[in-house]
Structure 1
Amino acid sequence: MKFAAFSGVLIEHSIQEAMKLTKQLGLDGIEIAVREPHLSPTTSKARVKEMASLSEDLGLDIPVLASYIGGFSTDSDKGCEQSFQDLQRLLDIAAELKSTMIRVSPGGPNGFMSQAYHYEKAAYWMERCAQAAKGYDIDIVMEIHNGSIVETVEESLRLLSLIPSDNIGMIHDAGNMYITDTDYGRDSVIGLGSRMLHVHVKDELRVNEVGAPGTFLNVTKHGEEKFLQSRMGEGGADHGPLFAAMKETGYNGWVTLECHAPFPAYERLEYDLQFVKKLIASV
């Protein structure tokens, strides 16, 4: 496995600073959040070339561009077309940065509220995205995420079954799956199989009230629930079975650290990295 930092954790820094801090942590790569001040579909060619050059100088890979493109299942046709055009621009950027994956969101609502037409519309546009990416030898990845039509492994496989292209798969995210209250351990890894193309790790905790730093509300199948963004091992998501399953199945892809706990960015990334190293040693 290779480890990356999510640049969104370091969004208060310039992308150049974020890349240098990631290298300082000893990580193998950085997953770039496609939002300013780090990157966007309209970022100039000169800026992209600068990022590519710095990546090479640091020996730091950029495996994934984590875009916020998508929302196809509920967007208007005009909005979907705009997202698709943004994706086409990102493909050129990804090629320059030697990225092999681009995250695209199929959209909402929560899986337990979704209807067949949500999956059908999302599948149509995700297939177009995958076809466009195929010419660049790039994979499209959809994150298993609370509040989307792919909150669970079962919902992910349902959507994938409607998409003919094979260069599309899922980002496993145990933190999100903890929020959804669905399995995120061994069965989830076995269930996704070869369609698990990437992994995010972060921790969350169910709490009784919001207001403190790092707390937020989220709608789940249980109703409106309260959560606290946490460092690894301090929340409620047990990542042990996940890493044991990745070892069992021989997963050798990327794992991105995406901690949003209320601590300084570098400190929480460093903490989570050390936790993950100990976790891997223990399994």
Structure 2
Amino acid sequence: MRFSVFTASTPEWTPAEAARELAAQGWDGVEWRVTDQADAAAPGFWAGNRATWPLTGLESKLPEIAEVTRGAGLDFSAVGAYVPCGDHDDVERVLAATAALGAGRVRITMPKLGPAPYPELFAAARTDLEWAAGRASAHGVTALVELHHGTVAASASAALRLVDGLDPARVAVIHDVGNLIHEGHEDHRSAFELLGPYLAHVHVKNVAWRPVGTRPDGSTAWAADWAPLREGQADLGAYFAALRAVGYTGWVTVEDFSTALPLAERTRDNLAYLRTLAG
């Protein structure tokens, strides 16, 4: 397995700082966050993130992205774009950018739940992915569907229904163990076996559910929060054992949104931990 970091989780670093620090720590690659984001008074995961490349004007930034990445000795694990699958113009742009970078794969996002009925959202996403498969083939890259709570692809089973019958070299799946703590958990080995050739990429983070109060009916109210890799409810030891059991040797990208440790210490410790899990 090869290890990379998704830069949504490194908001305090500029791209050059992120690449330099991750390379020095021994990471194999980086998954750049690409989106137009809101400004913020202080760097945050989702706004004011300094390690994010803007979607607006992305094409003009491609030489710099390539130089920052490969100049540090890192590979691209993928491109972490936030373009909805129904936005064909921008999907075309990020597919082309991924090809130009030689990054191989790019995430495109699936519809969020509601207010339209689920079958309508799902059918539209399938139609969009059929189109994306053709465009990905033209560019020689792969469009990735991430398992994500609150979307039409929250589980491996749902994602397989979306991509089944499409060329797995052109449309495939990111299995995300942390998102499955929110919604969509299935036995990991069974999910990997179910996805088969569509299992193209892995995201790792961790989440803990904690009591946050009492509901009007007297029952306990719970909320999910990000947790350090060792401390959340996802059993990462069992997760990596299942990956090894199915022969997965691809990229594992960390997106740790916990803040218990300073950023540099957090990324360094995560790599050491993942290496012990991978065996």
Aligned pair in 2 of structure 1 residues 54, 186: CA closer, same or farther (>3 Å)?
same
Please state if 1:239 is matched with 2:236.
yes
CA distance in 2 between counterparts of 1:89 and 1:182 reads 32
Change in 2 beyond 3 A, CA 1:154/1:224: farther
Cα displacement string for residues 244-267 of structure 1 (whole angstroms, at most 9, x for unaligned residues): 122122212100011000232222
> How far does residue 44 in structure 1 lie from its aligned partner after superposition?
5.0
1:102-135 deviations in Å (ceiling 9; x for gaps): 101121218xx96322211011112212211111
| Deviation larger for 40-49 or 194-203 | 40-49
Query: How far apart, CA to CA, are the structure 1 residues paired with 2:223 and 2:8?
Result: 22
Q: 2:17 — aligned with what? A: 17
Relative distance call for 1:190 and 1:54 in structure 2 (3 A) is same
**RMSD after superposition:** 2.2
Give unmatched runs, 5+ long, in structure 2: 37-49, 214-219
Q: Against the structure 1 CA distance between its residues 35 and 11, is the aligned structure 2 distance closer, same or farther, given a 3 Å change threshold?
A: farther
Which residue of 179, 186, 205 maps to 1:176?
179
Of 157, 161, 170, which aligns to 1:158? Answer: 161
Q: Aligned partners of 1:40, 1:91: CA distance in 2, in Å? A: 15
1:182 aligned partner, one-letter code: H
CA contact (8 A) 2:148 2:179 kept: yes
Percent identity, aligned pairs only, is 26
Counterparts of 1:43-192 in structure 2, within 5 Å, are: 43-70=57-84, 80=86, 83-109=87-113, 115-161=118-164, 164-166=166-168, 167-180=170-183, 182-192=185-195
Give 3-state SS (helix, strand or coil) of 2:212's partner.
Answer: coil
Kept after mapping to 2: 8 A contact 1:52/1:96: no
Contact 1:108 1:114 in 2 (8 A): no
Give the conservation status (yes or no) of the 8 Å contact 1:202–1:258.
yes
Q: Which residue of structure 2 aligns with residue 227 of structure 1?
A: 224
Task: Supply the distance in 1 between the matched residues of 2:121 and 2:221 (Cα, whole angstroms).
Answer: 22
Using the alignment, how far apart are the partners of 1:125 and 1:238 within structure 2? Answer: 34
Q: Which secondary structure does the structure 2 equivalent of 1:63 belong to?
A: strand
Measure the CA separation in 2 of the matches of 1:116 and 1:170.
Answer: 20
Deviations for 1:67-124, whole angstroms, at most 9, x for unmatched residues? Answer: 1111x5xxxxxxx3xx2111222223212321111101121218xx963222110111
The one-letter code matched in structure 2 to 1:47 is K
What is residue 256 of structure 1 aligned with on the other side?
Answer: 253
Q: What is the aligned partner in structure 2 of residue 265 from structure 1?
A: 263
Partner in structure 1 of residue 35 of structure 2: 35
Kindly provide the amino acid, as one letter, of the partner of residue 249 in structure 1.
V
SS at match of 2:75: coil
Q: Is the 8 A contact 1:127 1:165 kept in 2?
A: no
Shift in CA distance, 33/84, structure 1 to aligned 2, threshold 3 Å: same
The AA in structure 2 aligned to 1:130 is A
**Where does the alignment leave 5 or more consecutive residues of structure 1 unmatched?**
73-79, 211-222
Whole-Å Cα distance in 1 between the matches of residues 171 and 222 of structure 2?
31
User: What's the offset of the Cα at 1:145?
Assistant: 0.6
CA distance in 2, matches of 1:159, 1:46: 33
Alignment-derived partner of residue 279 in structure 1:
277
Q: 1:120 to 1:23 in 2, by over 3 A?
A: same
Contact 1:106–1:126 (CA<8 Å) still a contact in 2? no
Count of aligned pairs: 256
Mapped to 2, the partners of 1:225 and 1:114 lie a distance apart of: 27
Contact 2:112 2:150 in 1 (8 A): yes
8 Å contact from structure 1 (residues 205, 228) kept in 2: yes
Normalization by structure 1: what TM-score?
0.83
